[in-house]
A and B are shown apart, each in its own frame.
Chain A
């Protein structure tokens, strides 16, 4: 049995670190990526259950990550956090298959609720061998 793995992707590392810290205190195994390259590498290595992707503007590299996450052998649930001016990007992400799109500033309780819903209300999941 292992904790639910959450990868937080944001180039503003302070925000991502705070979210990771708070999720960690709720029992999640949260890690941070601050660039596209780092996120892609961590996606391949860690197989996160949930990706929390921050969209701060109309940058499109996040969509590559959404596509890759959803096409993986063990697809991750993608939750988008949309800053000012990124609502259209959030809508595009939802069309690609993201699980949900939440506004910034981030209400922590809402994010935890969406992670719980995405992962079937589990705080822990079976490990890679299918064992609990």
Chain B
């Protein structure tokens, strides 16, 4: 399955619509398949980011704050959303893989 993290600098982007980069990791349920891909967005846009998420076939989005309309859209598209995450994106991914990432989690520095 594909997991997508919205990124700003080296952290989870505080707001979904303000993400400047995304990281897409592929996961077989036990381990990552290859290196996660970094994609730099040409500009900040929640709409274009949502299109990309759907086109890529992402199954789980890990993000910071997200507008309710986009959250509902992803749920409708059967894409899981773990939102309200604050902290380093690599740490967030590791916790997700360990089954320990919960919405609203603040990751230690």
Residues of A within 8 A of B (CB): 12, 14-15, 18-19, 22, 54, 56, 83, 104-109
Contact B38 A104 (CB under 8 A): no
Query: Other CB < 8 Å A-B pairs besides A12-B43, A54-B42, A105-B42, 7 of them?
Result: A15-B41, A22-B40, A83-B42, A105-B22, A106-B40, A107-B39, A108-B38
Tell me the bound Cα distance from A74 to B52 in angstroms. Answer: 39
- Among B39, B42, B43, point to the contact of A108 (Cβ < 8 A): B39
Do A19 and B40 have beta carbons less than 8 Å apart?
yes
Q: Within the complex, which residue of B22, B38, B43, B52 is in contact with A22, where a contact is CB–CB below 8 Å?
A: B38
Residues in chain B near residue A106, CB distance under 8 A: 39-40, 42
Given A14-B20, A18-B20, A105-B52, check contact A56 B38 (CB 8 Å): no
A-B contact pairs, 29 of them (CB 8 A): A12-B42, A15-B20, A15-B40, A15-B41, A15-B42, A18-B21, A18-B40, A19-B40, A22-B38, A22-B40, A83-B42, A105-B22, A105-B39, A105-B40, A105-B41, A105-B42, A105-B48, A105-B52, A106-B39, A106-B40, A106-B42, A107-B38, A107-B39, A108-B38, A108-B39, A108-B40, A109-B35, A109-B37, A109-B38
Q: CA of A104 to CA of B39 in the docked complex: distance in angstroms?
A: 9
* Assembly CA distance A83 to B40 (angstroms): 12
Kindly supply a per-residue 1/0 record for chain B positions 15-29, scoring 1 wherever the CB is within 8 Å of any chain A CB and 0 otherwise: 000001110000000
